[in-house]
Structure 1
Amino acid sequence: MSDPVLVTTLLFGGLVVFLAIGVPIAFALGGLSAVLIATMWNVDGLNLLPMRAFQNTSSFQFLAIPLFIFMASVLQRSGIAETLYNTMQSFAGTLRGGLAVGTIVICTLFAAMAGISGAATIAMGLLAVPAMLERGYAKGIALGSVAAGGSLGILIPPSVTMIVYGLISGTSIGKLYAGGVLPGLLIAGLFIAYLLLRGWLQPEMAGGTETRRYSWREKLVSLKGLIVPLGLVVAVLGSILGGLASVTEAAAVGAAGALLAAGVQRRLGWGLIQEVCNETLLLSCMIFWIIIGASALSTFYTAAGASRLIESLVLGLEVDRYVILIGILGLLLALGMVLDTVGIIMITAPIVVPIVTKLGFDPVWFGILFIVNMEIGFLTPPFGYNLFYLRGVSPPSVTMGDIYKSVLPFVMLMLLATGIMLVFHDIILFLPDRLF
């Protein structure tokens, strides 16, 4: 086997080149690793790749990924977002900035139902952005609240990203789910406080209020729109956090519940099922190909001894452990700007998690910080996924530059939340310690 430093340079240097010329990350990871294994190790080493691919992708827990994607896709098309938006509008529409605040609340609920970021971003981009712009909201507030609220989907359980991270890092997915609840509410709370403050200080930016006044009877009737979403949240999260079901079993409950919700909304039909199955297949295949490609990279990298070299170098630094931790988080933040979340997890988690554990940090606590950094990556230019989701469903008057500018305050708020969690560990660890 070659020098670990040379292996690291060739592997990550080649990866940067392939991604720069537009090679999909799954094939960049797998193809580059296969070539290096054949040339720098042994052709027979290629036999390990299909074995590792089968071992990783046949895990029972990975079955939760397509199930949660299926659930999110059904919910996106079921009409629940419209019902929630009507409920929110009746209560918050008369507040200055109320539509933006209500958008964050709906995205938080959607995050607790769907488990992926795109569902809430697309649904609320179609509903909330035009409504806010028509009422005089500034583009920055209208677009930023949808993009930022949608990003909560990978932090608040049932998060698909947490499943991948937990399986790759060896961290309990149940504890990660419990640990993500309060940080998700903290970040949503900071978003809401910011929007209310903007509405108070700059009322012209937070648009005209709802012209129609809703009676208390109409408000109470609109609350029936919360029954199905809250029931689904309780069924999925309650079964996991209460120890009644595994993550995969809860995902199956969520998928069935989403179909029931679509039926209640009278949206369930063969056309919806066909669209949902196609989207689930496409997204699941994309994720699993990234997992297969990254497993090839980690196999070669570990065999080359490079991961142990990096671990020894980092642990040998004579600096405070928090300096190392902040350096790792900064690296993750930079990677989040240019790489897919699953790819980042597959590449970095096997290297950084042992380092962080040996530094004495709780793996669940670090795992949530890791996920928050991935959440920020959904909003950071140039390749934040939520930015492109939002651009695809926004009115023609919205430019990519408008979207880039709109998310900057929310990215700063998420960095502030990260700092708070670095200081107060119990924000993350309170629920895992109590429930497990």
Structure 2
Amino acid sequence: MPDPVLTTTLLFAGMGLFLALGVPIAIALGGLSIGMIYLFWSPMALNMVPIKAFSTASSFEYLAIPLFIFMAAMLQRARVADDLYDTMQKFFGGLRGGLAVGTIVICTLFAAMAGISGAATISMGMIAIPSMLSRGYGKDITLGAIAAGGSLGILIPPSVTMIVYGIVANTSIGKLYAGGLMPGLVIAALFCAYLILRGWLQPEISGGQDMQRYSWREKVASLRGLVLPLSLIVAVMGSILSGIASVSEASAVGAGGAILCAVILRRCTWTMLREAAEDTLHLSCMIFWIIIGATAMSTFYTAMGASRLIEGLVLGLEINRWIVLIAMLSILFVMGMLLDTVGIIMITVPIFVPIVVALGFDPVWFGILFIVMMEIGFLTPPFGYNLFYLRGVAPPSIRMTDIYRSVIPFILLMLAAVGLCMAAPGIVLWLPEQLF
């Protein structure tokens, strides 16, 4: 067996080189792992790679990933966000910054239905950007609210990212779902408070010059746009948190419910179903290839004893455990700027979680902090996914620098939320303790 220090150095240096050269992360992880297994372990050990790949890809828990992706694709194409936006416009349109607040509320509801970030960001980008800009909202408030609100999709359950994290970390996905709900609502509330404050301080860029008020009759009539989304949220999350269904079973409820929503809204067509299925196939394949490549890497890394080496080094430093935790979160912040979320989970979780448990931290609590850092990664330049989603649907007058500037206050708010959850762990742990 090679020296663990040499293995660690070669593995991470090679991975950094491949990623710098633009090699897809799945190939960088999987290809490098296969080469190192052949050179440092044994050619016979390569038989392990397809066996591990099959056992991983056929895991029942992972079945929830394509089903939740399909649900999000169907909801996006059924234009559920259109009806939600009409409702929020009626209720918040007369408030300074009201449409931005309504956008956050819609993204929060969409997060509780879809489980991925892109669906809300793309849908609200197409709907809200023209509407808000035409009503005098500034670019930074408009773009920042949509990008930040869309990022809630990986924190508020049912989150696809939490499924991957829970399986890799061997942590209850149900507890992670329960733990992510309150922090998600806290972050959404911080966003809304910030936007309302901006509205009062800067009415000229918060719709203050063109506020439209609606009667209560119009507001009540618009509530029908909430019926289907709330029904779907109750069906999916209620079945999970009540213990009626597992996460994978609830994902099937969500996928069927999304089709039913499209049928009720009379927007379901064979073309829509085919396009949603194609999107599901593409995104699921990308995620699973990353999982397979990273599984090969983590198996080799563990077999070489390198993960135990890092754990021993960290625990042997005898420094304050909070400093270790902050260092881990800082590493995740930097990695979120450069790497895919699933790749970060597969690379870091097998190393970080044993250290966290050894330091006496609750694994569910750490899992939520981890997910919030991944949520921040969706907004951090240069490779934040939501930044590119937004660029794809924004009008030509919007520059990439406008999008970069718009998310800075929201990143700071999410970092403040991380600090709040660290200072008051009950924000994360209260609901899991009540339900489980």
The amino acid of 2:235's aligned partner reads A
C-alpha displacement of 1:79: 1.6
Q: 1:32-47 residue pairs with structure 2 within 5 A?
A: 32-47=32-47
Secondary structure at 1:395's aligned position in 2? coil
Q: TM-score, normalised by structure 1?
A: 0.99
In structure 2, the residue matched to 1:298 is: 298
C-alpha displacement of 1:39: 1.1
CA separation of 1:421/1:86 partners in 2, compared to 1, >3 Å: closer, same or farther? same
Alpha-carbon deviations, 1:179-231, whole Å to 9, x = none? 00000000000000000000111111212455543211111010011000000
The amino acid of 1:373's aligned partner reads M
| Structure 2: distance between partners of 1:192 and 1:433 | 28
Q: Which moved more, 1:241-250 or 1:36-45?
A: 36-45
In structure 2, the residue matched to 1:181 is: 181
C-alpha displacement of 1:156: 0.1
| Structure 1: distance between partners of 2:433 and 2:286 | 35
C-alpha displacement of 1:371: 0.3
Q: 1:319-398 residue pairs with structure 2 within 5 A?
A: 319-398=319-398
In structure 1, the residue matched to 2:206 is: 206
Secondary structure at 2:204's aligned position in 1? coil
| Structure 1: distance between partners of 2:148 and 2:62 | 27
C-alpha displacement of 1:298: 0.3
In structure 2, the residue matched to 1:236 is: 236
The amino acid of 1:114's aligned partner reads A
Alpha-carbon deviations, 1:81-124, whole Å to 9, x = none? 00000000011111110000000000000000000000000000
The amino acid of 1:300's aligned partner reads F
| Structure 2: distance between partners of 1:368 and 1:399 | 33
Alignment of 1:153 onto 2:153: yes
| Structure 1: distance between partners of 2:198 and 2:272 | 39
In structure 2, the residue matched to 1:314 is: 314
Kept in 2: contact 1:95–1:209 (CA 8 A): no
The amino acid of 1:140's aligned partner reads D
In structure 1, the residue matched to 2:82 is: 82
Q: 1:23-62 residue pairs with structure 2 within 5 A?
A: 23-62=23-62
Q: 1:18-167 residue pairs with structure 2 within 5 A?
A: 18-167=18-167
Kept in 1: contact 2:168–2:346 (CA 8 A): yes
| Structure 2: distance between partners of 1:3 and 1:50 | 26
Alpha-carbon deviations, 1:256-280, whole Å to 9, x = none? 0000001111110100001000000
Q: Which moved more, 1:262-271 or 1:207-216?
A: 207-216
| Structure 1: distance between partners of 2:209 and 2:241 | 39
In structure 2, the residue matched to 1:405 is: 405
Secondary structure at 1:382's aligned position in 2? coil
Secondary structure at 2:308's aligned position in 1? helix
Kept in 2: contact 1:236–1:251 (CA 8 A): yes
CA separation of 1:74/1:209 partners in 2, compared to 1, >3 Å: closer, same or farther? farther
Would you say how many aligned residue pairs link Structure 1 and Structure 2?
Answer: 436
Secondary structure at 2:318's aligned position in 1? coil
Alpha-carbon deviations, 1:3-50, whole Å to 9, x = none? 111111111111111111111100110001101111122111111111
Alignment of 1:219 onto 2:219: yes
Kept in 2: contact 1:68–1:114 (CA 8 A): yes
In structure 1, the residue matched to 2:278 is: 278
Q: TM-score, normalised by structure 2?
A: 0.99
In structure 1, the residue matched to 2:254 is: 254
Secondary structure at 1:204's aligned position in 2? helix
Kept in 1: contact 2:30–2:296 (CA 8 A): yes
The amino acid of 1:177's aligned partner reads Y
RMSD: 0.8
Alpha-carbon deviations, 1:313-370, whole Å to 9, x = none? 0011121111101111111111111000000101111111010001000000000000
Kept in 2: contact 1:336–1:374 (CA 8 A): yes
The amino acid of 2:239's aligned partner reads S
Kept in 2: contact 1:7–1:306 (CA 8 A): yes
Q: Which moved more, 1:386-395 or 1:32-41?
A: 32-41
| Structure 2: distance between partners of 1:307 and 1:401 | 40
C-alpha displacement of 1:140: 0.5
Q: Which moved more, 1:100-109 or 1:33-42?
A: 33-42
In structure 2, the residue matched to 1:433 is: 433
Kept in 2: contact 1:168–1:349 (CA 8 A): yes
Q: Which moved more, 1:203-212 or 1:99-108?
A: 203-212
Alpha-carbon deviations, 1:51-75, whole Å to 9, x = none? 1111111111100000000000000
